[in-house]
Amino acid sequence: MRFMKRLFIAFVLMLFTYQSGFCADVWVNDLRKLFLNNSAIIYEINLRTFGAQDTNKNGIIDFDEAEESGTFLNAVSRLDDLKQKGINTIHVMPVTPVGRTKALGTAGSLYSALSFDTLNPQLESKQSALSIEDQAKKFIAEAHKRKIRVIIDLPSCGSYDLYMQRPELFVKDKSGQPVVPADWTDVRLLNAGDETAVNKDVYNLFKGFVDMVINLGADGIRADVATNKPAKFWKDLIAYSRTKDPQFLWLAEASESWTEPVSPYAVFTPYNKLLEVGFDGYYGSYFNLKNLKNGKDLIELIKTTNSNLTGYADVKAVIGSFSTHDEMSPVLINGQRFSEMIIWLNSTLPVNSYYVDGFDTGDNYIYLWANKKAPETNTDDDYYFVHRGKLDIFNFSRQPGGQNKALQWTFAIANNLKKQFLPVINNGKFEPLKTSNSSVFAYSVTYKDKSIIVTGNLNFRNNVDTTVYIPHFSADSSVIPIKIEGTPEAKRGCFKVTLNPGETQVLLIDNIKD
């Protein structure tokens, strides 16, 4: 067997061809089909920072110095870069107006919704004569020109300002006060009703959101904390959206790891019930990767997630939720190799790849002005509130980004390779592989005469020596190293390798004989 000493760039470039099934001039939504085929490579963005023009590089947008926050229009300039990196879907964090009373941060949380059927004026370019609605349509149309689909985030709760305007929409506690869910002090819990009686007022609020985003040209919705609405609420709303667009995607922020309501006053609908009533996918518990030390635990997580997708009337799928905007930057947790591990797991497992703006360049989301008093504010909070090591969703701040060119290169290569791996990933047999070291995970995905072999070291402190056992592996097998740092020693039925801390290896093997 021959192990190549380096990755053949020409081979990789040959794999970049991607076929599209729609006319270039008229966009036809195909997101559901793409998602259910594990073909979506999703990039989550905060429009308020995505195209932000921080010319003095202090991390904050200084409007009095003619700097511009992110808008629908200045976001367009970054779409070509996403396309080149293999992104075919963007998850746009909420575009609804935000509350200013009892707020967090100087711009207000994106998830503190003031309205559900209008657009956030913070995202409007003042340099254009177009209405904000037409600016939003232009942004989505420009994404579609690049064959990038658009998912819009639907906030779960209402702002305190909305409560003051329409108190009848909200859950009250025993003392008659609006309920603060979890520790989200800037929002109040909407009263969506229960399985016996859906609250029509809240339903119509969300129905207005569906009408708005479909009218803008969006391809799907990500439902924030979908678990705190009754199943019937979602069933009716999803069915309504599909009368307008059968390919309209619904992604639930829900997980098998989440089993409790966000408040004693809230309903709780588990992920499987959400899938039953029409959601196309949910968040697998892959965000637990950061806590795993034993390779077998990751394998069990993969097997459990795969099993949880079966038994439904329609096909279901998950996102590779290894790192979301609710998770700390991977480079802060375990460095560059942890980010690389997330990339290759996304690219070789039956999941829709999922990343946050700045992930691919190694942003640690550390803001020097974080939680300090601000000279001016757009809310009643005069502090730059942020979550350490997480994408800023509370202030007018810089674009996410970093300086890690190696990570960016790996990101683009892996995303484009995934498109070629899909026949194997979707049709192949997933098989855990035995290893001789407990901190090492290994698996193969085999279809016809091709196998993808993935090996990773969950020990991010030390090198480990391990043997990976591969049934029917022989010296006659042809091996293409997709991602390796050291050369494995091949033997019949196994190979031996020394893995660096946190290292992930990916091999493509042809002609494994039964």
pLDDT digits (tens, 9 = 90+) for 444-458: 999 988 899 999 999
Per-residue model confidence (pLDDT) at position 83: 98
- Looking at the predicted structure, is the pLDDT value of residue 20 above 60? no
pLDDT tens digits, 428-482: 999 999 999 999 999 999 998 889 999 999 999 999 999 999 987 876 778 889 9
Q: Is 1 within a domain?
A: no
Per-residue model confidence (pLDDT) at position 513: 57
Per-residue model confidence (pLDDT) at position 67: 97
> What would the two tokens of residue 335 be?
């460095």
CA distance 108 to 362: 26
Q: What is the mean pLDDT of residues 10-34?
A: 63
N- to C-terminal Cα separation, the chain = 17
Please name the residue ranges forming H helices in 249-317: 271-276, 295-308
Q: Judge if 56 and 120 occupy the same domain.
A: yes
% of the chain residues with pLDDT over 70:
94
Q: Judge if 138 and 87 occupy the same domain.
A: yes
Query: Which residue range is the domain that position 448 belongs to?
Result: 428-510
Per-residue model confidence (pLDDT) at position 437: 97
Q: Is 410 within a domain?
A: yes
Q: Is 378 within a domain?
A: yes
User: For the chain, how long is the longest CA-to-CA vector?
Assistant: 75
- Looking at the predicted structure, is the pLDDT value of residue 11 above 60? no
228: CB partners within 8 A, 6+ apart: 156, 181, 189, 192, 261, 262, 266, 267, 268, 269
CATH number for position 294:
3.20.20.80
- Looking at the predicted structure, is the pLDDT value of residue 4 above 50? no
Q: Judge if 398 and 463 occupy the same domain.
A: no
Q: Judge if 18 and 84 occupy the same domain.
A: yes
% of the chain residues with pLDDT over 90:
89
CA distance 505 to 440: 11
Q: Is 77 left (phi over 0), alpha (psi -120 to 50) or beta?
A: alpha
* Residue (of 323, 289, 285, 317) closest to 304 by Cα position: 285
Per-residue pLDDT band at 166 (split at 50, 70, 90): very high
Query: Which residues face 452 on adjacent strands?
Result: 445, 508
pLDDT tens digits, 53-92: 999 999 999 999 999 999 999 999 999 999 999 999 999 9
Q: Please, are residues 483 and 463 in contact by the beta-carbon 8 Å criterion?
A: no
Q: Judge if 64 and 119 occupy the same domain.
A: yes
Single residue among 388, 409, 426 that ends a domain in this structure: 426
Per-residue pLDDT band at 8 (split at 50, 70, 90): very low
Q: What is the mean pLDDT of residues 87-109?
A: 98
Q: Judge if 442 and 373 occupy the same domain.
A: no
CA distance 142 to 437: 49
CATH number for position 465:
2.60.40.1180
Q: Judge if 307 and 212 occupy the same domain.
A: yes
Q: Judge if 27 and 173 occupy the same domain.
A: yes
Per-residue pLDDT band at 511 (split at 50, 70, 90): low
Q: β-strand 464-469 against 494-499: which pairing, if any? A: antiparallel
Per-residue model confidence (pLDDT) at position 5: 38
Q: Judge if 422 and 438 occupy the same domain.
A: no
Q: How many CB atoms lie within 10 A of CB 115?
A: 20
Q: Is 478 within a domain?
A: yes
Q: What separation in angstroms does the CA of 99 have from each of 262, 374, 409?
A: 20, 18, 39
Single residue among 426, 456, 488 that ends a domain in this structure: 426
Per-residue pLDDT band at 512 (split at 50, 70, 90): low
Q: What is the mean pLDDT of residues 133-156?
A: 98
Q: Judge if 392 and 489 occupy the same domain.
A: no
Q: What is the mean pLDDT of residues 312-333?
A: 97
Q: Is 108 within a domain?
A: yes
Q: Judge if 388 and 355 occupy the same domain.
A: yes
Number of domains in the chain: 2
DSSP 381: -
Q: What is the mean pLDDT of residues 185-205?
A: 97
What b-and-e string marks burial along 302-331, b requiring 16 or more CB atoms within 10 Å of the CB? Answer: beebeebbeeeeeebbbbbbbbbbebebbb
Q: Is 2 within a domain?
A: no
pLDDT tens digits, 286-300: 999 999 999 999 999
Q: Judge if 274 and 372 occupy the same domain.
A: yes
Per-residue pLDDT band at 15 (split at 50, 70, 90): very low
Average pLDDT, the chain: 93
**What's the alpha-carbon Rg for the chain, to the nearest Å?**
23
Per-residue pLDDT band at 16 (split at 50, 70, 90): very low
Per-residue model confidence (pLDDT) at position 487: 80
Q: Is the pTM of this model over 0.85?
A: yes
> What would the two tokens of residue 70 be?
């992110």
- Weakest-pLDDT range from 161-175, 213-227, 455-469, 486-500: 486-500
Single residue among 426, 453, 472 that ends a domain in this structure: 426
Per-residue model confidence (pLDDT) at position 350: 96
Per-residue pLDDT band at 272 (split at 50, 70, 90): very high
Q: Is 160 within a domain?
A: yes
Q: Is 4 within a domain?
A: no
Phi, psi dihedrals of residue 283, rounded to the nearest 5°: -95, 105
